Structure 1
Amino acid sequence: MNKGIEGKVVLITGGSTGIGAEVARLLAARGSRVAVAARRADKLEAVVAEIVGNGGVARAYTLDVTDKHQVEAVVAAVVKDFGKLDVLINNAGLMPIRPMSEVNTDEWDAMIDVNLKGTLYGIASALPRFLAQESGHIINLSSVAGVKVFAPGGTVYSGTKFAVSAISEGLRQEVGDKVRVTSIAPGAVDSDLKHSTSGTAKDTVLDFYKQAIPAASVARAIAFAIEQPDNVDVNEIVLRPTHQTF
């Protein structure tokens, strides 16, 4: 069903590695024009060069999603460079796992800033444009930890992802007649996210991620949501490794 993907302009935050990079590769291969945004310019350029080398259309944009002015500037640049924006994928995220009793407020702040505020800043920049054109698709990366609290250790992370899920559903109810909204909730996925954890929980997290599915699995789920006809809105997809019980 490339018909629903081909020609669309898609902006992906956190697109330099992991899920974001795999989404960029897959959508470009299916005919989308992809704008790949992240903080690490060298990794961004590598992803874009690979896509272009395979015949796709892609551009890199350096972006820190915690800066709302940068997010607005990148969205504006994508619209200028490509002539439009059809899909925003809020993918950038952090997952430092640590018991709350260790009271690492720096990690709490970082998760709120990236996972929650970064998602909101993306919505704030894309939504007015989508409403004006009466079309668009916002895809937010939540987590199975946004469906069931991941504790001990992931309580604050779960809090940010529950918030993303709630915002996605509320946004759908508010603007769903013009803008499609999808929440993607993966379980353990092989990506850099697991390396956000340091300290006492590091070994536990790395052991948990031995069951991880490839990032390409999530990319296919996202492509499925995008490729649907305009009158079909896939609201939520939860996917996890077959043997993952949480």
Structure 2
Amino acid sequence: MSFNLNGTVAFVTGASSGIGHATARTLAGLGAAVALVARRKDRLDALVAEIEQAGGTALAIPADITDRASAEAAVAQAAAQLGRIDILVNNAGVMNIGRVADNTVESWEQMIALNQQALLYVTKAALPHLQAAAESNTRGVADIVNISSYAGRVASPNFAVYNMTKFGVNGFTEALRQELAASHVRVGALEPGAVETELNDRHEGAVRDEISAFFARIEPLQADDIADGVAYMVTRPRRAAVGELWIMPTNQG
């Protein structure tokens, strides 16, 4: 069984840092040309240089995918310049945690816009390209991997709206998997537990102290651990689909 992705194109959102950055590097290392999508152009350009120096192919596409037109344009640019899209990794996301009574409506709207609406915009735009890739002779299969969260499985205080967004991602993922099964476009959710990324640096005050204390009690996952999970999902033989992959720190209860 071959584990390389030679001849394929991967489209990775949130590629400027953390899980998206690590996933893009990993998929490029397996032979995929990678479209890197995020808002921070300087970081995307640096990642393109890193991938190219290692012998890979990458394209930086600065975009705010919470805007539907921008999301659609990013997909169109990737398909036009790289020739196809075989793998979509919906990784972009934000986690604004805190009590419902204390959080702002604006912070909820930001999570819904990025964690859910942007994922929908990109998936809808990429779907024709993925279906075409699945019908080609390259692999005969295409992949959508939605980066969800342990918070999409278990609800917790201070995570209410984040829980809502990730429970929604899991439901959408499974429904779409069933819709696309016959076309050999595989759809799966990857649900990490605690991962040490910039996502945790957004918070201040008591919430930040609580997160720091929690991370001090466990050995958190690293972004590369999740990238390895994505690579596992998209390198299965055509007959095998991973609908859900749950990766936790060993000592996270």
TM-score per shorter chain, which class? over 0.9
Give, in angstroms, the shift of residue 37 of structure 1: 0.7
Contact 2:4 2:31 in 1 (8 A): no
1:26-73 residue CA offsets vs partner (Å, 9 max, x unmatched)? 111111111111000111111111111111111110011201111111
How much identity, in percent, do the aligned residues show?
39
Contact 1:194 1:209 in 2 (8 A): no
TM-score (normalised: structure 2)? 0.92
- Map of 2:194 onto structure 1: 188
* Residue type of the alignment partner of 2:87: V
- Map of 2:206 onto structure 1: 200
* Residue type of the alignment partner of 2:242: V
- Map of 1:130 onto structure 2: 130
* Residue type of the alignment partner of 1:173: Q
- Map of 1:5 onto structure 2: 5
Aligned: 1:105 with 2:128: no
In structure 2, how many angstroms separate the alpha carbons of the residues matched to 1:148 and 1:3? Answer: 33
- Map of 1:228 onto structure 2: 236
Give, in angstroms, the shift of residue 219 of structure 1: 0.4
1:170-212 residue CA offsets vs partner (Å, 9 max, x unmatched)? 0011111111101000011111111232343111123223431
Aligned: 1:175 with 2:141: no
In structure 2, how many angstroms separate the alpha carbons of the residues matched to 1:190 and 1:31? Answer: 27
1:209 is paired with a residue of what secondary structure? Answer: helix
In structure 2, how many angstroms separate the alpha carbons of the residues matched to 1:14 and 1:7? Answer: 23
Aligned: 1:242 with 2:250: yes
2:182 is paired with a residue of what secondary structure? Answer: coil
- Map of 2:63 onto structure 1: 63
- Write out the 4+ residue segments of structure 1 that deviate beyond 6 Å after TM superposition: none
Contact 2:84 2:129 in 1 (8 A): no
Give, in angstroms, the shift of residue 5 of structure 1: 2.0
- Map of 1:209 onto structure 2: 215
> Structure 1 residues 128, 73: closer, same or farther in 2, change over 3 A?
same
In structure 1, how many angstroms separate the alpha carbons of the residues matched to 2:30 and 2:108? Answer: 38
1:16 is paired with a residue of what secondary structure? Answer: coil
**How many residue pairs are counted as aligned between the two chains?**
244
Gaps of 5+ in 1: none
2:178 is paired with a residue of what secondary structure? Answer: helix
Gaps of 5+ in 2: 136-140
In structure 1, how many angstroms separate the alpha carbons of the residues matched to 2:23 and 2:16? Answer: 10
In structure 2, how many angstroms separate the alpha carbons of the residues matched to 1:69 and 1:207? Answer: 41
In structure 2, how many angstroms separate the alpha carbons of the residues matched to 1:56 and 1:12? Answer: 15
> Structure 1 residues 132, 9: closer, same or farther in 2, change over 3 A?
closer
Give, in angstroms, the shift of residue 6 of structure 1: 2.4
In structure 1, how many angstroms separate the alpha carbons of the residues matched to 2:80 and 2:103? Answer: 44
In structure 2, how many angstroms separate the alpha carbons of the residues matched to 1:132 and 1:30? Answer: 21
* Residue type of the alignment partner of 1:214: Q
- Map of 2:87 onto structure 1: 87
- Map of 1:140 onto structure 2: 146
Contact 2:149 2:191 in 1 (8 A): yes
TM-score (normalised: structure 1)? 0.95
2:101 is paired with a residue of what secondary structure? Answer: helix
